Amino acid sequence: MAENPSGWAPKSPANMDNDAPETVTGNKALMLEERLLFEIGHHLKSGVDIDDVGDVTPRIGGLARDRVDLPGLTEPETVRHYTRLSRQNYGIDLGVFPLGSCTMKHNPRLNEKIARLPGFADVHPLQPVETVQGALECINELAHWLIILTGMHGVAMTPKAGAHGELCGILCIRAALEARGDPREVVLVPESAHGTNPATAAFAGYRVENIPANAAGRVDLEALRARLGPDVAGVMITNPNTCGLFEPDMKKISDAVHEAGGYVYCDGANFNAIVGRVRPGDLGIDAMHLNLHKTFSTPHGGGGPGSGPVVLSEALSRFAPLPYTARTEDGFVHLIEEEDAEAFETQHFGGPLDSFGRMTAFHGQMGMFTRALTYMKSHGADGLKQVSEDAVLNANYILRRMEDLLDAPFAHSGPCMHEAIFSDKGFADGISTLDLAKGLIDEGYHPMTMYFPLVVHGAMLVEPTETESRDGLDQFIDAFRHVVERAKGGDESLKGAPYHAPRARLDETMAARKPVLAHKTPAPDGSSTGLGARYGGG
């Protein structure tokens, strides 16, 4: 296979212009430098005209406004400030984002248009149920399709994100065990699971024990069977796992756990790789959260709102948290709270509801539900199946294009799923995964997931998602290969990268241990305000 099929020619360090003269403004042509709000704003400025309030002294938090020194900006200054900052970000709208669906999966604009419709955007959780039938219909239909796609019995829609969904599933398992008077203390977590899995189990009061992986990067089935016993509440397993591999023994694992009296929790963060191809319910799974932003494209990057519905088996459905939606024979959709549950429990659960309680004050993230359902309906069943197939195809293309140059510890295990994993084996002494990542920034790419999973030394986890074209992947691979060759060849210039980013490399150890979170703001008289330092950004 040709090393550079895209025809794109990367620059070498020798012809990178690192000696350009400094500018008076700090700007670099059209890349404009931007100071902190506390440096460009002042409490006497405002973007609007405010009537004089007379002798009343404005006070915020018990302090006069001029002492708090909150920065005011004019409207043009405000717009320019955030526009300039946005140009220093890398996002999925600029190019390939090898972090993948974890935070940066393409969000179709159709989803945004639907979510901004007044009936969805302006809905309030305290409105009377009869005035929000459209919103409840949306939630109910999304819940229906999540059950269909996973082959499960019920779904809890209220969890706000993945880890919140994990807690929901574990609390359902705890409630089921308590209902049968079976106090169990241990949750088994394979070392190939997401790090939130053991954290969630421990948070819920369980003792966590690890199960090793085999040489193929999958759960050691015999080690799991050997550990099962009357003290094991269940297993939390990530499938596909963090090595980017499907667990072919999943049904055998579930059967073994059930035979021992436990339950199976599956981390569904990687459902994007198997949606439309595999139904987790057919594998014996009892609970699984679904990150809507990973599989169904609701935006989550930059810490935006998440949503982590939890699908449940018939054994756990009646322990699900309230509230939930229920449709009556006349087509009316109800939002079921504690006081309503008894009237619907037999109809929807075939017996008494025994909910463990609530996860949130209200029902969930309406905007996330709307976007996810729009994504499903616009793709259809065949489109969702193609999504997973294309995601897997793109990841395997990267794996096979890189395995001759970069160590791929599980390439021998067969095709990967939606993400390809590499290690730093073969790098020259003194060159690290971090150095390679910084070199990729100079090539115009946000780095991939680094140093995770922990079972791979110097890990690089590349997830291209399904929406990248072959041309786009080829250009990324060309840049990736180029930086890898520099790392293996001992190119010391990598240790100073990035050279062309808006900011040079930080001292990350000092940034973590002694972060500078404030900025002293000069007052009009030239003095420095202490409160400005306290409230300053950074």
- The pLDDT profile of the chain, 538 residues, written as one tens digit per residue, is 445 554 444 444 444 455 678 888 888 888 888 888 888 888 788 888 877 767 766 665 555 555 667 788 999 999 999 999 988 888 888 889 998 766 678 889 999 999 999 889 999 988 988 898 899 999 999 999 999 999 999 999 999 989 999 999 999 999 999 999 999 999 999 988 888 999 999 999 999 999 999 999 999 999 999 999 999 999 999 999 999 999 999 999 999 999 999 999 999 999 999 999 999 999 999 999 999 988 998 876 556 678 999 999 999 999 999 888 877 777 777 777 766 666 666 555 555 678 899 998 888 889 999 999 999 999 999 999 999 999 999 999 999 999 999 999 999 999 999 999 999 999 999 999 999 999 999 999 999 999 988 889 999 999 999 999 999 999 999 999 999 999 999 999 999 999 998 888 888 888 889 887 665 544 445 544 433 333 333 3
Largest Cα–Cα separation, the chain: 79
157 by Cβ neighbours in 10 Å (0-12 / 13-18 / 19+) ranks as: buried
pLDDT at residue 524 in the model? 47
Tokens matching residue 457: 């030394």
pLDDT at residue 195 in the model? 87
**DSSP annotation of 404:** T
Q: How many C-beta neighbours within 10 Å does residue 430 have?
A: 10
pLDDT at residue 476 in the model? 97
pLDDT at residue 10 in the model? 43
pLDDT at residue 442 in the model? 96
Tokens matching residue 366: 């309406």
Place of tokens 């699908």: 311
How far are the Cα atoms of 136, 289, 361, 468 from residue 326, in angstroms, in the given order?
Answer: 9, 20, 18, 39
pLDDT at residue 348 in the model? 56
SS3 430: coil
* Helical segments of 122-249, H only: 133-150, 162-179, 196-203, 221-227
The radius of gyration computed from the CA coordinates of the chain, to the nearest angstrom, equals 26
334 touches 326 (CB < 8 A) = yes
Q: Taking the alpha carbons of 326, 328, 330, 332 in that order, is the dihedral positive or negative? A: negative
Q: Measured between alpha carbons, how far is 172 from 286 in angstroms, rounded to an integer?
A: 10
State the helix-helix crossing angle for 196-203 and 162-179, rounded to 10 degrees: 40
Among 383, 361, 366, residue whose Cα is nearest residue 298: 366
Q: Please list, residue by residue across 10-42, b when 16 or more beta carbons sit within 10 angstroms of its beta carbon and e when fewer do.
A: eeebeeeeeeeeeeeeeeeeeebebeebbbebb
Q: Measured between alpha carbons, how far is 64 from 399 in angstroms, rounded to an integer?
A: 60
Which pTM was predicted? 0.86
SS3 213: strand
